[in-house]
Chain A
């Protein structure tokens, strides 16, 4: 396993670059860009919610704030602290820089676990030749550097939105599951679900990770290698961590709900919170433009079809959960990556923060996906779309010479790019398994 040269200097440089950008956060106006801050993650809305709370109103009054009450208690007081002549959310930005660092470190740890497991299973299969050629990169280091240096991550970190925290929770869940720490995995999963609802589908990969352990080649191959071994001796689903996980998940969710109900005492309480956060996500109430595709559609659709299409769009994600889980059961980490990508493509309020997460996780599979076609095309596509989107927005909103279709077209292009990315990476991963099998048969 080749270490990356200058890993730590690059990490420090990335953090320094963020700190350099923080003082210019206000003049860059990232916090009001629709690509960066959504109604769910905007820190301006959070500050507004905190203000309402301080004036003993419900923070959800007036459809301004739609995030978690826990974020309000954690970040709310910090949003009030201002220094004259400095950006409004200076301290929050510092926190986000730190959170980004933690996320990157966890991704690195996940990558190291994956690479270790990979080496072990390749040794078991007696494919040391492949180890030389394939496992040549420190996947964790690459992934964490991709995460830290991705412009999307930097923008969402500096642009005063809470998506770094949401990403952190998702990564905690995956890390906890990878290292079989049930309480941690449960905490990450529950918090991530509470923040943005969509990580609820990560339940399957997390359970698979806890049960089977990190990614490995399909168990068929092991059986082929030593037919004498029983099936159970190679890949056992251990129930113990899963049971622990279930218990811990129940404990954490009860605890969080208790905290929230204490926090919202005197207002409408839990039902109001669920309606204003998860209900807001599911019902797609805010139709202000973003880089997703749902706002345009629901702005056009007739009211009496609305419920039908809402169900259709959300079930769209759920439809893909089961087939993918069956096909990629032996690679739960990769399954988690695919789920995150799909949900960030089809979610109601996507932002570049979601793209930052799945692009970072993509780096974990750098050895398996080395033969990816279209990598250059995808790279150019991402650059083109991320530059085109502000221009089209400017044309529509500020110049008035374009219209909503212009901006939506870039959103559509972005969705296509993500589709190509998912399809290509899944097919390459399956291809990798096929290559392994071929090697095994020829050897």
Chain B
């Protein structure tokens, strides 16, 4: 480098500061990239420490300002519905429609507009074009289909006395209509109690919609199909009509007149304007006994989207500070038990104490227990975001830009303790009433607070500005190393050709490498579409599917190799430094794109991909060092390459958590199937960024 600098004319040396800074970074790329990697990992580990306390950003919400009206009277109503459901169950144990009927009657009693929504459960399949355009595919309802493969949602709408019918708040209670359990019945009862209370409220400015979702085929399918029909107008005369009638007919033979009346009145799909928020309400039974009732918040929607932080804030505020519930967001147990994290927490605590003793104005105050809990919560929320699969039926709302969360309430006592349940219902009802009242105050849709954040505790969050630092530090080495490799090759060729005439194509030499990289990415696109034909073959096991996928993709790689890269002349043009530079650039573009689509995927992907990209170099072109470090380096890079192949990574992770005996060939197929069923962009990332980059790294490793 120094000699090259000397060759430059003096005018060029006095270039601008930014160019000098950049060339400094590039010339010391090894040191810089290692430093960035380490700093990125440290920042990632420190994220729980950097979390801030949440605060309610939107002034209009005013949670807890009004006195709660939910009383013991309402709890009695709830209990009555639960008992009715159980009585009815003993009369008609087989069919599930009695619950829908029961709920409809209750809704009518409180003066709500009621209708039933019949939906057909269709097995979701792999649609190659359906990524990012979720609302296009609309299934056509077939009247001939029976009630077996379909469900019936019951919906009640309370029109707000002070509203204009253009905004609504949604309450969702999923229940299993085939086999109703006490917790489902309790959640229905609780929702009904709140619903009937709100129907009498004078302060209501937004319509309240209660969706009792028939979750026989999964909660998500029921809620998503209702939402789709809510937002897509259907112009056919009456697509639901005959269907619902047939569902009720079998049960209502003895009251024919009644059912006829029902059919006409309750099949009209009604709407209530744009939805400002949705609350999915579930009562769960946890076996452990605690001092307080427990509330679990689930918020992750598809592709790592989160609801506005204000919604979580008001629920947390009301639950923790008004009703005294124990609020939790998901966390990983294995991290809570991990000795490594515990020790790290202790070290951080000691460090913060040391810092405080040096200068009392520094307030780091790290508590090791908090750190461990924060880490486990952060890890779980990062995992669920990275998977890109919604954690509950609230995910369906996020696809329509509606903020929604699932509230899982669980009592401190067992369900048999009536007093305990009553006080639990009272608290739950007051909580929901408070949240509804708070959202009712909203003047605009949620926009004040954050959409991009991680939770480390129910009342602590990390905003995008902080967690992006970790990713930026991790990803920064890629462009720097790419630039370093690129400039080193161009300098080498210039010095080689300095005696000759300037040959014109030198500065376009990267095109050959770009061609190779492009072909490999094209291959990635091809094999990401391969599961479509494979999954059409009936009756195969996942192991066979996986084998077919592997064989086909290897075959297509071979064909592409023979078609495009066979001639020897190309390999002369294509030296490994340029190839690595181009492939690293492609990987960094892919990672940056993914960090916008789904940050967590990009973060986890970067942790695997960046070391691989930095380490890999041809095995027989190691730097001039002695044999032993050379061998160690070679083995290390081989191991890294092995470990970052997606199926192997999955296998290692599965073996780590569930024991290696459970690992099988078809695991990756099942995982991929899981991802594309939910239209997760993680699948695209794996196939279009990670896998091609891995193949290119292997290609570089085996470069002659």
Closest approach, in angstroms, between the C-beta of A32 and any C-beta of chain B?
11
From the candidates B133, B452, B593, name the one contacting A391 in the complex (CB within 8 A): B593
Q: Mark A275-295, 1 if CB is under 8 A from B, else 0.
A: 000000000000000000000
Closest approach, in angstroms, between the C-beta of A270 and any C-beta of chain B?
42
The answer on a CB contact under 8 Å between B129 and A380 is: no
From the candidates B486, B504, B589, B592, name the one contacting A136 in the complex (CB within 8 A): B504
Which A residues are in CB contact (< 8 Å) with B592? Answer: 384, 388
Q: Mark B592-604, 1 if CB is under 8 A from A, else 0.
A: 1100110000000
The answer on a CB contact under 8 Å between A29 and B510 is: no
The answer on a CB contact under 8 Å between B504 and A370 is: yes
Which B residues are in CB contact (< 8 Å) with A398? Answer: 132, 401
- A384–B582 Cα distance when bound, in Å, is 13
Is A387's beta carbon under 8 Å from chain B? yes
The answer on a CB contact under 8 Å between B510 and A376 is: yes
Closest approach, in angstroms, between the C-beta of B116 and any C-beta of chain A?
30
Is B334's beta carbon under 8 Å from chain A? no
From the candidates A137, A376, A388, name the one contacting B593 in the complex (CB within 8 A): A388
From the candidates A134, A388, A401, name the one contacting B451 in the complex (CB within 8 A): A401
Chain A 375-409 interface residues, beta-carbon cutoff 8 Å to B: 375-376, 379-380, 383-384, 387-388, 391-392, 394-395, 398-401
Is A367's beta carbon under 8 Å from chain B? yes
Q: A376-B510, A380-B589, A401-B451 are in contact. Are A367 and B504 (CB under 8 A)?
A: yes
- A401–B486 Cα distance when bound, in Å, is 37
Is B514's beta carbon under 8 Å from chain A? yes
The answer on a CB contact under 8 Å between B597 and A370 is: no
Give the number of chain B interface residues (Cβ < 8 Å).
Answer: 26
Q: A133-B501, A133-B502 are in contact. Are A379 and B514 (CB under 8 A)?
A: yes
- A337–B333 Cα distance when bound, in Å, is 63
Is B508's beta carbon under 8 Å from chain A? yes
- A372–B507 Cα distance when bound, in Å, is 7
Which B residues are in CB contact (< 8 Å) with A400? Answer: 401, 451
Is A272's beta carbon under 8 Å from chain B? no
- A383–B589 Cα distance when bound, in Å, is 9
Closest approach, in angstroms, between the C-beta of B454 and any C-beta of chain A?
14
Closest approach, in angstroms, between the C-beta of A3 and any C-beta of chain B?
16
Closest approach, in angstroms, between the C-beta of B677 and any C-beta of chain A?
20
Is A373's beta carbon under 8 Å from chain B? yes
Chain B 504-532 interface residues, beta-carbon cutoff 8 Å to A: 504-508, 510, 514
Chain B 356-394 interface residues, beta-carbon cutoff 8 Å to A: none
With both beta carbons as reference points, the residue of chain A lying nearest to B447 in the complex is identified as A400
The answer on a CB contact under 8 Å between A387 and B589 is: yes
Closest approach, in angstroms, between the C-beta of A417 and any C-beta of chain B?
14
- A367–B452 Cα distance when bound, in Å, is 48
The answer on a CB contact under 8 Å between B596 and A391 is: yes
Q: A371-B504, A375-B507, A376-B486 are in contact. Are A384 and B401 (CB under 8 A)?
A: no
Is A27's beta carbon under 8 Å from chain B? yes
The answer on a CB contact under 8 Å between A133 and B503 is: yes
With both beta carbons as reference points, the residue of chain B lying nearest to A403 in the complex is identified as B447
Is A129's beta carbon under 8 Å from chain B? yes
Q: Mark B578-609, 1 if CB is under 8 A from A, else 0.
A: 00001001000100110011000000000000
- A265–B530 Cα distance when bound, in Å, is 57
- A394–B598 Cα distance when bound, in Å, is 12
Q: A29-B133, A392-B596, A399-B401 are in contact. Are A380 and B585 (CB under 8 A)?
A: yes
Is B305's beta carbon under 8 Å from chain A? yes
Which A residues are in CB contact (< 8 Å) with B452? Answer: 401
The answer on a CB contact under 8 Å between B502 and A371 is: yes
- A76–B506 Cα distance when bound, in Å, is 49
With both beta carbons as reference points, the residue of chain B lying nearest to A129 in the complex is identified as B501
Closest approach, in angstroms, between the C-beta of A155 and any C-beta of chain B?
16
Q: Mark A111-147, 1 if CB is under 8 A from B, else 0.
A: 0000000000000000001000110110000000000
Closest approach, in angstroms, between the C-beta of B203 and any C-beta of chain A?
28
- A372–B501 Cα distance when bound, in Å, is 16
From the candidates A129, A370, A392, name the one contacting B508 in the complex (CB within 8 A): A370
Which A residues are in CB contact (< 8 Å) with B585? Answer: 376, 380
Which B residues are in CB contact (< 8 Å) with A388? Answer: 592-593, 596
- A170–B506 Cα distance when bound, in Å, is 32
Which A residues are in CB contact (< 8 Å) with B132? Answer: 394, 398
The answer on a CB contact under 8 Å between A384 and B597 is: no
Which A residues are in CB contact (< 8 Å) with B504? Answer: 133-134, 136-137, 367, 370-371
Which B residues are in CB contact (< 8 Å) with A367? Answer: 504
Which A residues are in CB contact (< 8 Å) with B597? Answer: 391
Closest approach, in angstroms, between the C-beta of A207 and any C-beta of chain B?
31
With both beta carbons as reference points, the residue of chain A lying nearest to B402 in the complex is identified as A400
Chain B 103-139 interface residues, beta-carbon cutoff 8 Å to A: 129, 132-133, 136
- A373–B510 Cα distance when bound, in Å, is 12
- A100–B28 Cα distance when bound, in Å, is 47
- A383–B590 Cα distance when bound, in Å, is 10
Q: A399-B305, A401-B452 are in contact. Are A387 and B593 (CB under 8 A)?
A: yes
Which A residues are in CB contact (< 8 Å) with B136? Answer: 27
With both beta carbons as reference points, the residue of chain B lying nearest to A392 in the complex is identified as B596
Which B residues are in CB contact (< 8 Å) with A370? Answer: 504-505, 507-508
Closest approach, in angstroms, between the C-beta of A154 and any C-beta of chain B?
15
- A249–B693 Cα distance when bound, in Å, is 55
Which B residues are in CB contact (< 8 Å) with A395? Answer: 596
With both beta carbons as reference points, the residue of chain A lying nearest to B597 in the complex is identified as A391
With both beta carbons as reference points, the residue of chain A lying nearest to B398 in the complex is identified as A399
With both beta carbons as reference points, the residue of chain A lying nearest to B135 in the complex is identified as A398
Q: Mark B269-295, 1 if CB is under 8 A from A, else 0.
A: 000000000000000000000000000
Which B residues are in CB contact (< 8 Å) with A375? Answer: 507-508, 510
Closest approach, in angstroms, between the C-beta of A390 and any C-beta of chain B?
8
The answer on a CB contact under 8 Å between B596 and A27 is: no
Which A residues are in CB contact (< 8 Å) with B401? Answer: 398-400
Closest approach, in angstroms, between the C-beta of B137 and any C-beta of chain A?
10
Closest approach, in angstroms, between the C-beta of A226 and any C-beta of chain B?
25
- Residue with the highest number of chain B CB atoms closer than 10 Å, among A133, A136, A399: A399
With both beta carbons as reference points, the residue of chain A lying nearest to B450 in the complex is identified as A401
Closest approach, in angstroms, between the C-beta of A379 and any C-beta of chain B?
7
Which A residues are in CB contact (< 8 Å) with B129? Answer: 27-28
Which B residues are in CB contact (< 8 Å) with A392? Answer: 596
Q: Mark A343-381, 1 if CB is under 8 A from B, else 0.
A: 000000000000000000000000100111101100110
Which A residues are in CB contact (< 8 Å) with B506? Answer: 371
- A388–B592 Cα distance when bound, in Å, is 9
Chain A 248-290 interface residues, beta-carbon cutoff 8 Å to B: none
The answer on a CB contact under 8 Å between A373 and B507 is: yes
- Residue with the highest number of chain B CB atoms closer than 10 Å, among A29, A375, A394, A401: A401
- A18–B305 Cα distance when bound, in Å, is 36
Query: B interface vs A, CB < 8 Å?
Result: 129, 132-133, 136, 305, 401, 451-452, 486, 501-508, 510, 514, 582, 585, 589, 592-593, 596-597
The 3 closest A-B pairs by CB, nearest first: A370-B504, A401-B451, A400-B401
- Complex A-B: 29 CB contacts under 8 Å: A129-B501, A133-B501, A133-B502, A133-B503, A134-B504, A136-B504, A137-B504, A367-B504, A370-B504, A371-B502, A371-B506, A372-B507, A376-B510, A376-B582, A380-B585, A384-B589, A384-B592, A384-B593, A387-B589, A387-B593, A388-B592, A388-B593, A392-B596, A398-B132, A398-B401, A399-B401, A400-B451, A401-B451, A401-B452
Known: A371-B502, A400-B451. 20 other contacts (CB 8 A): A129-B501, A133-B502, A133-B503, A133-B504, A134-B504, A136-B504, A370-B504, A370-B505, A371-B507, A372-B507, A376-B486, A379-B514, A380-B585, A380-B589, A387-B589, A391-B593, A392-B596, A399-B401, A400-B401, A401-B305
